[in-house]
Structure 1
Amino acid sequence: MATLTPVPVTLPKDKVPTKENVRDIIGTFLTKEWPYVDPETLTMSYNASFANAHCPVERPKPATGTHTETLKVFIKFHHDTLVDFEILKHLAPSKHEEALLSYEYGQSGLGAKVYGFFKTQDGTLGRIDEFLDARNMEPEDVENRVIRADVAKGLAMFHALKTSLEKKAVESYYEAVINGLKKYHKMGKLKALGKEGGVSVDNLVDYDFGTRLRKVVDKLESIRAKAGWCIHDVQFMNVLVKNDPKEGESRVTLIDFEFVMQNYRAIDIGGHFMQKMFKWFDEESRIARCRTYTEEEKRHFCEEYARQWNKLTGDSDTGDQVFLESEYGYMLAITFDIQGMLCFMSEEDDKDSLNLLALNKLFDEFVDQYAKLGLEDP
């Protein structure tokens, strides 16, 4: 069902679908009952985010008899991004490849089933997924040992996933990101935007991330860090916690695969630890009001990850090995976020003080971790 299917629908100019639009899109794939639903009886909400929009849709139960098709689905609409992530375009999956990956992930039993991948007559691409009875993960969730273990196992399974995506060299990613970071090094426009927003980012802009990131990558090479299919954008909004999991089923599932590509698995593991400190869609502060991951919790996570990884690959990795990789991966993940935020800032003239404060927090975390691991020149 990941084949691109044209649908006889034209979205309004503002791209916000009507109830009739979503009924007709869904009815193209779920053909027995959905095409005959009265659009006015549908319950739906439309939520636009940075590059995409999400639309859960529910129809009422039939007045008589039992239904054979699902009552609720999740539609994802792809819109043109506000920021051109040109540096990763040649590495990140196309929308069709992302849909195929999502389909394969769903077929494995790890994620939501994909019902269809579509293109409207106005050119909008989108996907219809199974609706999961779940909520977005909160930073405090990973203080629960069981949920933390499920996230660890979920990442290991994703990293080792067999997919039809083309594997591209890990080094290609770092060549692109380092070149991207160099573009923003000492950029006067970024400093000016910080001042306008009331938060100085001068120290961050003057910091040579590119050279230091190269040193981190060299260190990972020297310890023979393992690679796999990495998500990169592992913010907690991209992990769902199921409300009522079946017995023996994972409590979590991973979503949003726009940036899936080959990389050191450490970028996702270290990134998961780092992301506990942030709530990127909070209206009061992007920095979470909770404690950071403890070393004990990190080591438990890495033990669970190693156990699952070994089960899937036949390797004999230890929790200590995964933990060491994650310590360097922490910085890889920070540079992914900083690159994206500087790109957005530069192209959209963003000077939101909450974003600027979070950017400086990322910078402080990178500097502290770099010093902690003894990478700074004497």
Structure 2
Amino acid sequence: MATTTSVPVTIPKDGSLTKATIKDIIGTFLTNEWPNIDPEKLIVTRNTGYANTNCVVERPKPKGGAHSEPLKVFLKIHGELDGDIEVFKHLVPNKLEEAQLCHDYAQSGLGAKVYGFFQTQDGSFGRVDEFLDARTLERADVEDENIRAGVARENAAFHTMSTQRKKNSVQSYYDTVTGELAKYHRMDKLKKLANEGGVNMDHLVDYDFVSRIRRVTDKLESIGGKKGWCIHDVQFMNTMVKNSPKQGESKIVLVDFEFVFQNYRAFDIGGHFLQKMFQWFDEESKIANCRPYTEEEKRHFCEEYAKQWNEKTGDSDTWEQVFMESELGFMLAITFEIHNMLCFMDQDDDKDPLNILGLNKLFEEFVNQYKKLELGS
């Protein structure tokens, strides 16, 4: 079980860490060799993301080469999530719960080992994790049937994972997101910001997402849509591909559990299919220049997912069942993205045309899918 350990260090507001501080944190959990290392000999690779500061920390190989503790670890300092995430605060895990999810995932033999979860004197939270020799999933990867199958199986394993976290009501998420989307419906400010950015998105702002989300979830219930621990933030950067997996070890590892709560499994599956078409951190276009998932690829993914789900749960789901659910989940994942981006626009007066073009692409995908599934007007 993950527990909080107090460490006698303070982290500056800008998130910067000295090598001595890094060594002291890691040495709190890896107590044999790490405390004796000269901190100036550490190699620290920093990466500051949307809300967190992440470091890969490497120590020199000891003389003779033998060592009982890892030479590389992953250090994560949790930042504060705000903005669009605030409305989901009652659903998302707190920092200790997130660490517990990572711990449980690792205990299942799938994720990175959690060496320790800590709180500093200034109140910051962080984790020391196993370093994964892996790269982020690329769009071309899922066109490889072996990697695609691995991603499918890993999602099914996560969705069915046994964890100590209390399950939320799935309806509580949909009550929240539809309430928020109702607030943005026909909002003149959003239309004005988009036009100032040089892109019209009046049709999106005037569109009634609320009633359509209800039709989608009603349909999911009618076909017996299953629920599980969904990640929600299923962008490709949060799926890792191991460079040299051990014999019998999964090549795929999922990371970043800040938004994990109970939802229809279809949300993550459909969201995975959706995310192939987008590259949210690109500075030239948010829309990826690649083909979307083909129907054949989706069906193969759903077949591999169903096999793993059934193995973990004892169910007898078919790929057809999972595929039908994913077609509906595709739209639920779209509305999650649209909500978050509209919230960002509203709060930060964002009028970046690339973001707005991305929003319009999401809207186009939703409308086309809704029409394809003949869910009504």
Q: TM-score, normalised by structure 1?
A: 0.97
**1:323 alignment counterpart:** 323
**TM-fit CA distance, 1:227:** 0.7
Alpha-carbon shift at residue 65 of structure 1 (Å): 5.1
Contact 1:50/1:82, CA 8 A, preserved across alignment = no
User: Which residue is 1:366 aligned to?
Assistant: 366
Q: Which residue of the partner structure matches residue 98 of structure 1?
A: 98
Match of residue 279 from structure 2: 279
Counterpart for residue 338 of structure 2: 338
Q: Is the 8 A contact 1:83 1:348 kept in 2?
A: no
Classify 1:369/1:70 alpha carbon distance in 2 versus 1 (closer, same or farther; 3 Å): same
Residue number in structure 2 paired with 1:298: 298
Task: Trace 1:151-190 onto structure 2 (pairs within 5 A).
Answer: 151-190=151-190
Q: Does residue 143 of structure 2 align to residue 132 of structure 1?
A: no
Alignment deviations for residues 312-369 of structure 1 (CA, whole Å, 9 cap, x no partner): 1111110011000000000011111111111222212222222221111111110110
Question: Where in structure 1 are there 5+ consecutive unaligned residues?
Answer: none
- 8 Å contact from structure 2 (residues 84, 340) kept in 1: no
Q: Contact 1:16–1:46 at 8 Å: present in 2 too?
A: no
Show CA shifts across 1:250-277 (max 9, x none): 1100011111111110001111111111
- In 1, Cα distance between the equivalents of 2:199 and 2:45? 35
Q: How does 1:342-353 map to 2 (within 5 A)?
A: 342-353=342-353
What is the rounded CA distance, in whole Å, between the counterparts of 1:187 and 1:20 in structure 2? 51
Q: Distance in 2 between matches of 1:119 and 1:157?
A: 30
Q: Relative to structure 2, which stretch is displaced further, 50-59 or 313-322?
A: 50-59
Deviation of residue 79 (structure 1)? 1.0
CA contact (8 A) 2:78 2:126 kept: yes
1:194-233 correspondence runs (5 A):
194-233=194-233
Distance 2:104 2:350 in 1: 37
Does the 8 Å contact 2:190/2:346 carry over to 1?
yes
CA distance in 2 between counterparts of 1:245 and 1:64 reads 26
* Native 8 Å contact 1:47 1:53 kept in 2: yes
Aligned mates of 2:150, 2:84 — CA distance in 1: 34
The whole-number CA distance in structure 2 between the counterparts of 1:18 and 1:181 is 43
Quick one: which amino acid aligns to residue 125 of structure 1? Answer: F
**Normalised by the size of structure 2, how large is the TM-score?**
0.97
Pairs within 5 Å for 1:74-153: 74-153=74-153
2:186 maps to a residue whose letter is K
In the TM superposition, structure 1's runs of 4+ consecutive aligned residues that sit over 4 Å from their partners are none
SS state of the match for residue 16, structure 1?
A: coil
Inter-partner Cα distance in structure 1 for 2:18 and 2:192:
42
Counterpart secondary structure, 1:21: helix
CA-to-aligned-CA distance 1:153-202 (integer Å, 9 cap, x gap): 00111111111010111111111111111111112222222122222222
What do you get for the CA RMSD once the two structures are aligned? 1.3
Measure how far apart 1:144 and its partner are. 0.3
Residue type at the aligned position of 1:334: I
Equivalent-residue separation in structure 2 for 1:350 and 1:243 (angstroms):
38
Partner of 1:191: 191
Cα distance per residue 1:229-269 (max 9 Å; x no partner): 11111110110000111222211000111111111100011
The 8 Å contact of residues 106 and 114 in structure 1, kept in 2 or not, is answered as yes
Supply the distance in 2 between the matched residues of 1:198 and 1:47 (Cα, whole angstroms). 33
Task: Structure 2: state its 5+ residue gaps.
Answer: none
| Contact 1:331/1:369 (8 A) holds in 2 | yes
1:12 lines up with 2:17 in the alignment: no
Tell whether 2:258 aligns with 1:258: yes
Aligned-residue offset at 1:82: 4.2
CA distance in 2: counterparts of 1:336 and 1:316, whole angstroms: 30
1:50 aligns with 2:42: no
Q: Which one-letter code corresponds to 1:235 in the other structure?
A: Q
CA distance in 1: counterparts of 2:88 and 2:42, whole angstroms? 38
CA distance, structure 1, for counterparts of residue 59 and residue 90 of structure 2: 40
C-alpha separation in 2, matches of 1:191 and 1:13? 36
